[in-house]
Amino acid sequence: MSNASLDAIAAKSDQPFPGAPNNWRRFFSFSTDHKVIGIQYMVTAFVFFLIGGLLAMVMRGELITPEADLVDRTVYNALFTMHGTIMLFMWTFPMLNGLSNYLVPLMIGARDMAFPRLNAAAFWLVPVFGTLLMASFFVPGGPSQSGWWAYPPVSLQNPTGNLINGQVLWLLAVALSGVSSIMGAVNFVTTIFRMRAPGMGWFRMPAFCWTVLSAQMIQLFGLPSLTAGAVMLLLDLTAGTSFFDPAKGGDPVLYQHFFWFYSHPAVYVIILPIFGTFSEVFPVYARKPLFGYRFVVVSSVIITVLSAMVWVHHMFASGTPSWMRMLFMFSTMLISVPTGVKVFAWVATVWGGKLRLDTPMLFALGGLVCFLFAGITGVMLGAVPFDIHVNNTYFVVGHFHYVIYGATVMGIYAAIYHWFPKMTGHMYYEGLGKLHFALTFIGVNLNFFPMHPLGLMGMPRRVSSYDPEFAYWNVIASLGGFLLGVSTLPFILNIVSSWVLGKRAPANPWNAIGLEWLIPSPPPVENFEEIPIVVSGPYGYGSNESLVSNNPAGELISEHS
Ligand code: HEM
Ligand SMILES: [Cu+2]
């Protein structure tokens, strides 16, 4: 579209914000606007977060007593399988894709993603495979019970004998999710390579965009492996092949390689954009430049490379030969170096700054604390003798929930609050935000800390009943779990009420530096009336350097900033 159409939109006097369409119906349409698609991803993902959370509540209800008294054991198997699958494939990935979709074009000064229609198609696959996955609750035999990693031979059992069963639907959904993610990755990588505004050299690009680029590169090299594994398993299950079936000469450990070759790097697909969020949020609320910007962004690339070389740390107990275990123990330890560089940089950014403890900053700080803890237990698990000891115990569950809830979900909340005024044009309610933070932070620690002592005591994961000696910590964990359930209520209330009634947000409520803050909130359809010309780096806090040499908002900004 040309600028003419933009002017026409801006001219309509009934628009609440210059240039931003005031039409909620577009969120239900096949829109090719990256901002609409971003919000579609985020809202869809959040619905699945609530479904996954409800399943967790039932699990914690079962685990509050040692006996298996609330649900049948096979139902419990289905619960943890669907909980893990939904939380990863239906919540975390789509949520992060949504945030990245919304933010990357704005941050690099582009009018949209490189391939808008591919973008929309990738999004619309999410409800398709989401529905496939949910359908498995309604087929005979119920959902898959083989855990989110679907190891054969367990995943090859087909007790009902039906062709359409929970495991088959699970595999179809995961394969489709891979297709959607690859479509998204091609789009992100192309956009970041080709569509940066003039003057935005690689080392003037915000750290968030570097992390998205790194994460999406991982999707490109990793997903083919997962998809291949899933298709081979599907063939074993439906067409009588025997790639993985030991009874017919297949090799189940081969599947583990296919699975973890992707699924370990996938944890970096998740955590890298969270690292990017930390790098954006800390400078704004500490009023200081990001410490060691170049080291921070280069470490994302190093993490990307190393993440491809550590997957066997998930297979230390799978009959892996010792020399191989040593090799992967070493590479796993190595990856803590670039990660440590980042943590050091964030602490140095916050250190001695004028801290403003608004909700986004609280969530980012809380997320960082949880990430540190998870990083320490992660290094412990990387040590072969320790891992052999706690493999398949609650220690592992505790470790990854600190990463995935403590750091990732809290990091996602930090990002939502930070960019909410930009996305919606309204301010959220700070008091509700702080309440949400307090409940989440306390809930995470009550829920997931006890899993560590439980694991060390030897409590296995994926069980619905346990020895009474484990009861003490499980009661605490369950109470923490229920608290986390409650914690989502002030969030939902805040988002819905402030989106409808909240105070109007100015273009730049946080006094932040970045191209997205130079244009109105919410941004007009084509983002920038004039493509910005970038003349300095992204974190010039405390200096009076200007970020651009023109006014990318054109006429629009002067009206209300
Ligand atoms: C209220 C919040 C949550 C609670 C109470 C909770 C609780 C649990 C429980 C009880 C298990 C099963 C443990 C077992 O029997 O082995 C589990 C597994 C898991 N959770 Fe969560 N969880 C929560 C949030 C999340 C989130 C936000 C994510 C991801 C973003 C997540 C990802 C997973 C994964 C991947 C598994 C492993 C599933 C498997 O073993 O196949 N959880 N969780
Ligand atoms: Cu791993």
The pLDDT of residue 4 is above 70:
no
Q: 267 CA distance to ligand 2 centroid (A)? A: 7
Q: Measured from the CA of 148, which atom of ligand 1 is nearest?
A: 41
User: Which protein residue has the closest C-alpha to ligand 1 atom 32?
Assistant: 84
The pLDDT of residue 12 is above 50:
no
Token pair 């608290």 is found at 483
Predicted local confidence at residue 432, as pLDDT? 98
* Candidate from 59, 64, 83 with most ligand 1 atoms within 8 A of CB, to mutate: 83
* Candidate from 49, 87, 145, 259 with most ligand 1 atoms within 8 A of CB, to mutate: 87
- 34-63 vs 93-108: helix crossing angle, rounded to 10: 150
Q: 313 CA distance to ligand 2 centroid (A)? A: 6
Q: Measured from the CA of 91, which atom of ligand 1 is nearest?
A: 30
Q: 387 CA distance to ligand 2 centroid (A)? A: 12
Q: Measured from the CA of 394, which atom of ligand 1 is nearest?
A: 16
Cis peptide before 206 (omega within 30 of 0): no
β-sheet bridge partners, residue 143: 166
Predicted local confidence at residue 18, as pLDDT? 54
Please enumerate in sequence order all residues whose Cβ is within 8 A of that of 248, keeping only pairs 6 or more positions apart, or say none. Answer: 242
Task: Give the angle subtended at the CA of 482 by the CAs of 477 and 486, to the nearest 5°.
Answer: 140
Query: In the structure, which protein residues have their CB atom closer than 6 angstroms to any atom of ligand 1?
Result: 53, 56, 59-60, 80-81, 83-84, 87-88, 91-92, 147-148, 397, 401, 404-405, 409, 447, 461-462, 481, 484-485
Q: Give pLDDT tens digits for 440-479.
A: 999 999 999 999 999 999 999 999 999 999 999 999 999 9
The pLDDT of residue 425 is above 60:
yes
Chain CA centroid to CA 94, Å: 7
How high does pLDDT run on average in the chain?
93
Whether pTM > 0.85 for this model: the answer is yes
The pLDDT of residue 125 is above 80:
yes
The pLDDT of residue 332 is above 60:
yes
- What distance in Å separates the CA atoms of residue 561 and residue 541, rounded to the nearest whole number? 20
Region 287-312: mean pLDDT is: 96
CB 95 within 8 A of CB 41: yes
Q: Where residue 555 falls among pLDDT bands split at 50, 70, 90?
A: low
The pLDDT of residue 560 is above 70:
no
Mean pLDDT is lowest, of 70-79, 233-242, 394-403, 549-558, for 549-558
User: Which protein residue has the closest C-alpha to ligand 1 atom 19?
Assistant: 84
Q: Which H/E stretch holds residue 76?
A: helix 73-85
* Candidate from 65, 80, 393 with most ligand 1 atoms within 8 A of CB, to mutate: 80
Give me the percent of the chain exceeding a pLDDT of 70. Answer: 95
Helix, strand or coil for residue 121? Answer: helix
Region 150-164: mean pLDDT is: 92
- What distance in Å separates the CA atoms of residue 545 and residue 526, rounded to the nearest whole number? 26
Region 27-33: mean pLDDT is: 90
- What distance in Å separates the CA atoms of residue 23 and residue 19, rounded to the nearest whole number? 12
Q: Give pLDDT tens digits for 381-404.
A: 999 999 999 999 999 999 999 999
User: Which protein residue has the closest C-alpha to ligand 1 atom 14?
Assistant: 462
Outline where 383-469 has alpha helix (H): 384-390, 394-401, 410-424, 430-448, 451-457
Q: Where residue 558 falls among pLDDT bands split at 50, 70, 90?
A: very low
Question: Residues 424, 430, 431, 432: what is their CA dihedral angle, to the nearest 10 degrees?
Answer: 30
Predicted local confidence at residue 431, as pLDDT? 98
Q: Measured from the CA of 408, which atom of ligand 1 is nearest?
A: 30
User: Which protein residue has the closest C-alpha to ligand 1 atom 36?
Assistant: 84
Would you state the structure tokens that stand for residue 24, as one six-digit string?
A: 């909620």
Predicted local confidence at residue 6, as pLDDT? 43
Q: Which ligand sits nearest to residue 477's alpha carbon? A: 1
β-sheet bridge partners, residue 460: 393
- What distance in Å separates the CA atoms of residue 492 and residue 432, rounded to the nearest whole number? 10
Predicted local confidence at residue 556, as pLDDT? 57
Chain CA centroid to CA 192, Å: 19
Q: Which ligand sits nearest to residue 313's alpha carbon? A: 2
The pLDDT of residue 276 is above 70:
yes
The pLDDT of residue 296 is above 60:
yes
Max Cα distance, the chain (Å): 73
Q: Where residue 7 falls among pLDDT bands split at 50, 70, 90?
A: very low
Predicted local confidence at residue 19, as pLDDT? 59
The pLDDT of residue 35 is above 70:
yes
Q: 512 CA distance to ligand 2 centroid (A)? A: 35
Q: 85 CA distance to ligand 1 centroid (A)? A: 9
